[in-house]
Amino acid sequence: MIQAAVSQVWYDNTPDIQNEYGPFQYGLNHSYLSLLERPGLLPLAILPTIAVSPEEILKNFDILVLTGGGDPSPSLFGREDNGSRNPRPFRSTWDLKLYHAARKLGMPVLGICLGMQLIAIAEGIALIQDIPQTPVFHDGSGSKPATHSVAISTDTLLYDLFGAEITVSSSHHQAIEKVPPGYLLSAKSSDGCIEAIQSKDGLVLGVQWHPERDSTGKPILDALVRMVGAI
């Protein structure tokens, strides 16, 4: 049984209930679980803890999936706030620890939307905090995903899966400034936004879109499962 560790979204509890319930609650959209639901794969949510290190947690897993979510704090990439929407450091800080642990363990990683941005931040890259209006119209509201095509680079996993172009579902207003060291540009949109990156060792794939909402999800996850069998 392949076990996939899945990061959670952190929601702020309102002040009137924090004394009873604490500062946060944690959740995950069912679309992620639908993507991961298949024979032989067990998705398990990873909650933040200080009792066990990220390395100790992940050594019992085979794949790490970093899901989408709200804006990370610009302090994580050394910038002042310049268009971020209610940026929060807590969830991002925990997910960064999970990413670094997965890399130490040689574990396949899939980063989705925020997940891809955190991969870039972990590798020293800053974010464009609010993408200017473009014909692609990267929205980011979460309520009206944009459907658009992305051009895929040759000699990448995505090219092997989909060929030169694919239509994706996006919902983001931030993007990575450039491809991190040790990574390849895997896809970009017509406005030049970096839409996917792949580590040169082939173990990490970050996509700016939401594969759990479109036709790209199953082939991407199938490829990650095959990676586990090859390691």
Q: Could you give the residue numbers annotated as active site?
A: 113, 210, 212
* Residues 136, 131: Cα–Cα separation, whole Å: 10
Residue 104's nearest CA partner among 147, 64, 152, 44 is: 64
Residue found by looking up tokens 């940026």 in the block: 87
DSSP per-residue string spanning 21-80: H-SEEEE--HHHHHHH-BTTEEEEEE---SSS-HHHHHTT-SEEEE---SPBPGGGGT--
| DSSP H helices in 137-206 | 157-162
Strands 204-207 and 194-199: antiparallel
Distance CA 101, CA 103 (A): 5
